[in-house]
Amino acid sequence: MLYVSTRNAEEKVTASQAVLKGLAEHGGLFVPEYIPKLDVSVDKLAEMTYQETAYEVMKLFLTDYTEEELKKCINNAYDSKFDTSEIASLVKVQGAYYLELFHGATIAFKDMALSILPHLLITAARKNQVKNDIVILTATSGDTGKAALAGFADVEGTRIVVFYPKDGVSPIQEKQMVTQKGSNTFVVGINGNFDQAQTGVKKMFSDQALTEEMKAAGYQFSSANSINIGRLVPQIVYYVYAYAKMVKSGAIENGAHMNVTVPTGNFGNILAAFYAKNMGIPIGKLICASNENKVLYDFFSTGTYDKNREFILTSSPSMDILISSNLERLIYRIAGDSAEKNQELMDSLQEKGIYTITEEMKEQLASFYGNYASEEETAAVIQEIYQDAGYIMDPHTAVAAAVYKKYQKDTQDDSKTVIVSTASPYKFTRSVMTAIDENYKDRTDFELADELEQLSKVDIPKAIQDIRTAPVIHKTVCEVEQMEEVVKQFLNI
pLDDT of residue 225: 80
| pLDDT bucket at 82, cuts 50 / 70 / 90 | very high
For residue 258, give the nearest of 365, 367, 334, 362 by alpha carbon. Answer: 367
CA dist., res. 259 & res. 282, Å (int): 9
Q: Alpha carbon 184 to chain centroid distance? A: 23
pTM of the model: 0.93
- The predicted pLDDT at position 336 comes to 96
pLDDT confidence of residue 143: 84
Residue 25, pLDDT > 90, answer: no
Please tell me the distance from the alpha carbon of residue 29 to that of residue 193, in angstroms, as a whole number.
Answer: 22
Please tell me the predicted confidence (pLDDT) of residue 409. 97
Q: What is the DSSP letter of 386?
A: H
Nearest CA to 171 among 142, 212, 200?
142
Give 340-378 pLDDT, tens digit per residue: 999 999 999 999 999 999 999 999 999 999 999 999 999
What's the pLDDT band for 277 if we cut at 50, 70, 90? very high
CA gyration radius for the chain? 21
Collect all residues with Cβ–Cβ distance below 8 Å to 438 and sequence separation of at least 6.
Answer: none
Helix ranges (H only) for 184-281 are 194-205, 208-216, 229-249, 268-279
Given a cut of 90, whether residue 73 has pLDDT beyond it is yes
Question: By three-state DSSP, how is residue 190 classified?
Answer: strand
Strands 476-478 and 133-139, bridge-based pairing? unpaired
211: pLDDT confidence band, cut at 50, 70 and 90?
very high
Rounded CA-CA distance 88/350 in Å is 37
Percent of the chain with pLDDT over 90: 93
Q: Are strands 96-100 and 8-14 parallel, antiparallel or unpaired?
A: unpaired
Give the Cα separation of 306 and 310 in Å (integer). Answer: 11
Sheet holding 219-222, edge to edge: 219-222, 133-139, 158-165, 185-190, 476-478
Residues 120-135, mean pLDDT to the nearest whole number: 93
Cα 269 to Cα 225: distance, rounded to the nearest angstrom:
12
Q: Per-residue pLDDT averaged across 141-154, rounded?
A: 90
Q: What is the pLDDT of residues 371-417, one digit of tens each?
A: 999 999 999 999 999 999 999 999 999 999 999 999 999 999 999 99
pLDDT at 483: 97
Q: H/E element holding 263?
A: strand 258-263
Q: Are 117 and 125 in contact (CB under 8 A)?
A: no
With cut-offs at 50, 70 and 90, classify the pLDDT of residue 141.
confident
Q: Residue 117: which pLDDT band, with cuts at 50, 70 and 90?
A: very high
Average pLDDT over the chain, rounded to whole? 95
Confidence band of 441 (pLDDT split at 50, 70, 90): confident
- Name every residue whose Cβ is closer than 8 Å to that of residue 492 and which is 6 or more positions away in sequence: 217
User: Cα dist. 219→32, 121, 133, 182, 222 in Å?
Assistant: 27, 14, 5, 18, 10
pLDDT in tens, 33-55: 999 999 999 999 999 999 999 99
Rounded Cα gap, residues 137 and 160, in angstroms: 6
Mean pLDDT of 2-20: 96
Q: Where are the alpha helices (DSSP H) in 92-207?
A: 110-114, 117-127, 144-152, 171-178, 194-205
